[in-house]
Amino acid sequence: MAVEVCICLKDHLDSVEKIQDISPLEGDLEWVEDEIHTKEIAFVEVEEEDNKRKPIVVILVGAPGSGKSTFCDHVMRVSTRPWVRVCQDTIGNGKAGTKAQCLAMSVTSLKDGKSVLIDRCNLDKEQRADFVKLGQSHKVDIQAMVLDLPAKLCISRSVKRTGHEGNLQGGKAAAVVNRMLQKKELPKLNEGFSRITICQNENDVRAAMDTYGALSSADTLPSGCFGEKKTDNKVQVGIMKFLKKVDAPSKVSSDKTIPGSSSRTTKENPTLNEGQEQSGTCPLEGVPTLAFPSISTADFQFNIEKASEIIVETVEEFVNKIGNARLVLVDLSHGSKILSLVKTKAATKNIDPKKFFTFVGDITKLRSRSLHCNVIANAANWRLKPGGGGVNAAIFDAAGPELDTATKKRAGSLTPGKAVTVSLPSTSPLFSKEGVTHVIHVLGPNMNPKRPNCLKNDYNMGCKVLREAYSSLFESFASIVRHQEKLSDSSCVEPDAIPHCDQKVRREEASVAEKNKKFKGFIEVAESEKWDALDGKQNATDCGKTGGHVKKDWGTWSQALYRIAMHPEKHKNDVLEVTDDVVVLNDVYPKAQKHLLVLARAEGLERLADVGREHLPILRTLHAVGLKWAEAFIKENESLIFRLGYHSAPSMRQLHLHVISQDFNSKGMRNKKHWNSFTSPFFLDSVDVIQEVREQGKATLKDDDKLLSMELRCNRCRSAHPNIPRLKSHISICKAPFPAHLLQNNRLLHAPIKDDPC
């Protein structure tokens, strides 16, 4: 029991008020702490049985706009632990608050047995020291919650906000945030923290919110540094370098007890679990692993001998396509016939036992058997409904209603031979307890006359469908692994530091949709789209390559230009000019006052990636036609300035040159992608493309999607703006000269500059 010896808050606040009168905001307040001690606010030694109710002090660390208050609000709203938010911006009741007031309030709160969230910037060690000492003197855990978000994001939020408690908003915010970040000093454990959580993007923040939000009075969080960057990027110079989707490397440790955390610490040198059938395997956390049951051999009564052959053959086909990832056939019963058959057949085929092995155990409780599988397969029913017994019932039971809900969002039913991947919400017990991030529902052939779609002993069809089922399953798993590898590669994490930690998983989950979007229509996504097997939308039938690039599989909507290029006579109302080589038309959704497209009419020339030296004549023709139109527009309106160029990765099929005026004054210019596709290096000037193709045989594409999500910067003065409306109001008045590189090599087309008569 925490017992107050003596305290008079009023005395403290009186003292604090006096101090405030003579102290600068961030002055040395050590003696306040001493004063507090002399008044003696302390806890009587807390005994072991009460340790669980010990309050904690969480010191937020982050620039204005990093989301400290949002974090506090969320945690206080959802956590059952009593919290007090100590906010310097509000503590002064309208006047500027002081650190001393924050310290005093913290003391009072701890005295009341409440945990404390220190909501102030605390960006350097010195700022944090008093709060650390305070916690130490009261023998409570001091934890740091670092919101190390991109400067650009903090600035954007700060600039935008109105009514901020600390009156830091609008134009001055950017300068303040930048200045503060120059002094940023990430906390270290040796400052006195028992736990440090570093969040570097909004997904990390959400994960941390969940972790702290889940804390009841009795819960504790493991000690250590979570999400630590490999290098301390202390100085964030300027905002230009900060892209919105910065996802810095992280190294996260574990927490087995709190949902929203994950485990790694205990599994560095695992021993084989007794349930493990195959030797030579290592149940390491972090190795992507698919646990799957034998499909169709239980209730669907598929012949076990045939099934085992199909399993091993399909495994053999896939096992080398999934890197270091592992496949594990799981069965609940010891002496399982299917396991022994598969094990024997796998051995005869010399399948690497580290990549494929069998395991006896409950597929929903593998982590507790020291086998961490981030993906599990479910032998589903065609309705994708919970219940029914067997593996399906067990998985839906273990995953909670979250799986049912998430499954419904993905698909309503499943065809035999198909698989559908469902991302498990972090709130699912299977996620939090077992570290399972995805469930792949798979439906095999049914040979049981009492079940739907019985094949009536037609094993020709049955084997075909079962093989297809395993292929779909493994392909879906491979797709997940590929996504994870891409993310790992891009985050530069040390190879041994890629556990399936919660924060990483959340980042991955959040990024999957983005990755899908990036590759939408390409082979990569066609594979992941098989997650949604029933949608029938994956149409990656065209898997050929053109010009060394994966050929894009264009959707219906993206074929409009192609259709016009091939049959301009059917679009007479839309086209402005037709020749044997090109079609000119207004962009249907112009992004500027004048915005034309010059289409190449050659079949098979779908995008810039297809262009080689042999296409130089058509590139020159496109340029010449574009130039002619731009000059005509300039003649009509001398204030217009044009660029001619290509998108590195166009959305529409058929090579097309944009002829676009640089005012970008159009209601069609509506979002960041639009803006950046014409003002970032994603837009390749026609003159440069021609030169590169002539000299190198191809254009250097800049199709990194980071370019399209870059911060919004004026195309003239390069100033940053928080959103499209603000940007548009800026560019409507900005008369700054264009960046120097655009002024060279005729990249910009404009009216002749008249000689100054003076």
Active-site amino acid positions: 656
Which among 309, 321, 371, 301 has a CA at the least distance from the CA of 346? 309
Stretch 691-730: interaction string toward DNA, x if CB under 7 A: ------------------x--x---------xxxxx----
Which listed range, 62-70, 389-397, 465-473, 484-492, lies at the site for DNA (CB under 7 A)? 62-70
- Candidate list 37, 53, 133, 160; residue touching DNA; CB under 7 A: 160
CB 307 within 8 A of CB 268: no
Q: Does 125 bind DNA (CB under 7 A)?
A: no
Which listed range, 76-84, 107-115, 514-522, 696-704, lies at the site for DNA (CB under 7 A)? 514-522
Which listed range, 103-111, 353-361, 508-516, 571-579, lies at the site for DNA (CB under 7 A)? 508-516
Q: Which is nearer to DNA, 43 or 242 (CB)?
A: 242
Q: Does 604 bind DNA (CB under 7 A)?
A: no
How far is Cα 266 from Cα 273, in angstroms, rounded to an integer?
14
How far from chain centre, in Å, is Cα 8?
48
Q: Does 233 bind DNA (CB under 7 A)?
A: no
Q: Which is nearer to DNA, 125 or 726 (CB)?
A: 726
CB 731 within 8 A of CB 714: yes
Q: Does 520 bind DNA (CB under 7 A)?
A: yes
Phi-psi map region of 615: left, alpha, beta (phi>0 left; psi -120 to 50 alpha) = alpha
Rule CB under 7 A: which of 392-451 touch DNA? none
How far is Cα 346 from Cα 309, in angstroms, rounded to an integer?
9
Q: Does 168 bind DNA (CB under 7 A)?
A: no
Tell me, what amino acid is at 478? A
Instruction: Supply 97's token pair.
Output: 């608050």
Stretch 292-331: interaction string toward DNA, x if CB under 7 A: ----------------------------------------
Q: How far is the CB of 539 from DNA (least distance, A)?
A: 12
Kindly state the number of chain residues that form the binding site for DNA, as judged by CB under 7 A: 38
Q: Does 65 bind DNA (CB under 7 A)?
A: yes
Q: Does 671 bind DNA (CB under 7 A)?
A: yes
Which among 60, 189, 64, 76 has a CA at the least distance from the CA of 118? 60
Q: Does 171 bind DNA (CB under 7 A)?
A: no
Which among 352, 345, 335 has a CA at the least distance from the CA of 277? 335
Label the pairing between strands 642-647 and 683-685: antiparallel
How far is Cα 631 from Cα 115, in angstroms, rounded to an integer?
69
Q: Which is nearer to DNA, 671 or 745 (CB)?
A: 671
Q: Does 33 bind DNA (CB under 7 A)?
A: no
How far is Cα 219 from Cα 286, in angstroms, rounded to an integer?
26
User: Within 13 Å of residue 538, how many CA atoms lie on the same side as its CB?
Assistant: 21
What backbone torsions phi and psi does residue 485 show, to the nearest 5 degrees?
Answer: -65, -40
CB 239 within 8 A of CB 720: yes
Rule CB under 7 A: which of 4-23 touch DNA? none
Q: Which is nearer to DNA, 343 or 595 (CB)?
A: 595
CB 126 within 8 A of CB 120: no
Q: Which is nearer to DNA, 413 or 516 (CB)?
A: 516
Instruction: Supply 447's token pair.
Output: 């040979």
Q: Does 516 bind DNA (CB under 7 A)?
A: yes
Which listed range, 16-24, 105-113, 153-161, 322-330, lies at the site for DNA (CB under 7 A)? 153-161
- Candidate list 305, 589, 604, 700; residue touching DNA; CB under 7 A: 589
CB 564 within 8 A of CB 658: no
- Candidate list 53, 672, 706, 730; residue touching DNA; CB under 7 A: 672
- Candidate list 126, 232, 496, 514; residue touching DNA; CB under 7 A: 514
Q: Which is nearer to DNA, 301 or 651 (CB)?
A: 651
Residue 516 neighbours by CB distance under 10 Å: 17
Q: Which is nearer to DNA, 131 or 554 (CB)?
A: 554
- The secondary element (H helix, E strand) that includes residue 74 is helix 68-78
> What is the SS3 assignment for 472-540?
HHHHHHHHHHHHHHHHHHHHCCCHHHCCCCHHHHHHHHHHHHHHHHHCCCCHHHHHHHHHHHHHCCCCC
Distances (CA, A) of 633 to 121, 498, 598, 647, 744: 53, 55, 15, 22, 21
- Candidate list 12, 138, 157, 504; residue touching DNA; CB under 7 A: 157
Q: How far is the CB of 154 from DNA (least distance, A)?
A: 9
- DSSP letter at 77 equals H
Q: Does 574 bind DNA (CB under 7 A)?
A: no
Sheet holding 375-379, edge to edge: 356-360, 326-331, 289-293, 375-379, 438-442, 419-423
How far is Cα 406 from Cα 188, in angstroms, rounded to an integer?
39
- Give the SS3 label for residue 709: coil
Q: How far is the CB of 405 from DNA (least distance, A)?
A: 12
Q: Which is nearer to DNA, 516 or 719 (CB)?
A: 516
Q: Which is nearer to DNA, 3 or 588 (CB)?
A: 588
Q: How far is the CB of 649 from DNA (least distance, A)?
A: 8
Q: How far is the CB of 244 from DNA (least distance, A)?
A: 6
Q: Does 202 bind DNA (CB under 7 A)?
A: yes
Q: Which is nearer to DNA, 433 or 672 (CB)?
A: 672
Q: Which is nearer to DNA, 387 or 401 (CB)?
A: 401
- Candidate list 38, 162, 348, 541; residue touching DNA; CB under 7 A: 162
Which listed range, 388-396, 414-422, 494-502, 512-520, lies at the site for DNA (CB under 7 A)? 512-520
Residue 444 neighbours by CB distance under 10 Å: 29
- Candidate list 67, 150, 227, 425; residue touching DNA; CB under 7 A: 67
Stretch 624-653: interaction string toward DNA, x if CB under 7 A: -----------------------x--xxx-
Q: How far is the CB of 556 from DNA (least distance, A)?
A: 7
Which listed range, 264-272, 323-331, 551-559, 745-753, lies at the site for DNA (CB under 7 A)? 551-559
- DSSP letter at 244 equals T
Q: How far is the CB of 205 from DNA (least distance, A)?
A: 8
Q: How far is the CB of 128 from DNA (least distance, A)?
A: 24
Q: Which is nearer to DNA, 185 or 663 (CB)?
A: 663
Q: Which is nearer to DNA, 554 or 629 (CB)?
A: 554
What backbone torsions phi and psi does residue 581 show, to the nearest 5 degrees?
Answer: -105, -30
Which among 131, 123, 119, 130 has a CA at the least distance from the CA of 165? 119
- Candidate list 6, 231, 389, 557; residue touching DNA; CB under 7 A: 557
Q: Name the burial class of residue 167, with classes exposed (0-12), middle (13-18) and buried (19+) by CB atoms within 10 angstroms of its CB.
A: exposed
Tell me, what amino acid is at 180? M
Chain residues that interact with DNA, rule: CB under 7 A = 65, 67, 70, 157, 160-163, 202, 244, 510, 513-514, 516-517, 520, 555, 557-558, 588-589, 647, 650-652, 668, 670-672, 674, 677, 709, 712, 722-726
